[in-house]
Amino acid sequence: MSTQLVSRLAIAAAAVATLATLSGCSVGLPSFGGPTASPTPTATQFIGDDASDVPSANPAPSASPSDDFADPDPASLYGTTWSGPESDGYVLTVHFDADGTFTYTNTGVPDDPSHNETWKLEGMKITMLFNDGYAIRQGLLDDDTMNGSASNKKGESWTWTMTKQK
């Protein structure tokens, strides 16, 4: 797990604990870092003489902890080059263009530009279609690394990892 992801999880856990405390719940943080909330408090757990003093049984938090971590902007990939090994023995290098297309070399062999390679970033998930969809690589972006799995229309499958080139 990357250092940034661990930091994000710790911040998210602290935000959950803060929201739970403000709403009257107690939160335990187990050793794996994930928050667990106690059952929703009942009216008898609050001080007050009438129902107007009792918060809603299911208060809506003002913000989700994940709101602090915006998904990467697809523009962050524009003009970048990524390279790395695939489990089938090839080395893939991809250059992402702003129009949703990319060019690549696979173990030094350049692609044919007429193949229509396209990419899309949705949240942290990247999808790359090679050779008009003959092969597809899907994976997750994490800072300067992305990795995932791939398959083609022949039924072959493999894994891949790429790092951003400086």
* pLDDT digit string, tens, across residues 58-73: 444 444 444 445 567 8
Domains of the chain: 3-68 (no CATH), 74-164 (2.40.128.20)
**Tell me, what's the pLDDT at 75?**
83
Regions of the chain where pLDDT drops below 70: 1-71, 108, 113-114
Q: What is the pLDDT of residue 48?
A: 43
Beta carbons of 120 and 126 less than 8 angstroms apart:
yes
Give residue 2's pLDDT: 52
Q: Which residues of 91-125 are buried (b: 16+ CB within 10 A; e: fewer)?
A: ebbbbbeeeeebebebeeeeeeeeeebbbebeeee
Q: How many CB atoms lie within 10 A of CB 134?
A: 11
Compute the C-alpha angle 30/34/35, nearest 5°.
80
List the structure tokens of 146.
Answer: 């992305």
Per-residue pLDDT at 127: 97
| pTM value surpassing 0.75 | no
Give the contacts of 116 (CB within 8 A, at least 6 positions apart): 101, 129, 131, 132
Distance CA 162, CA 48 (A): 58
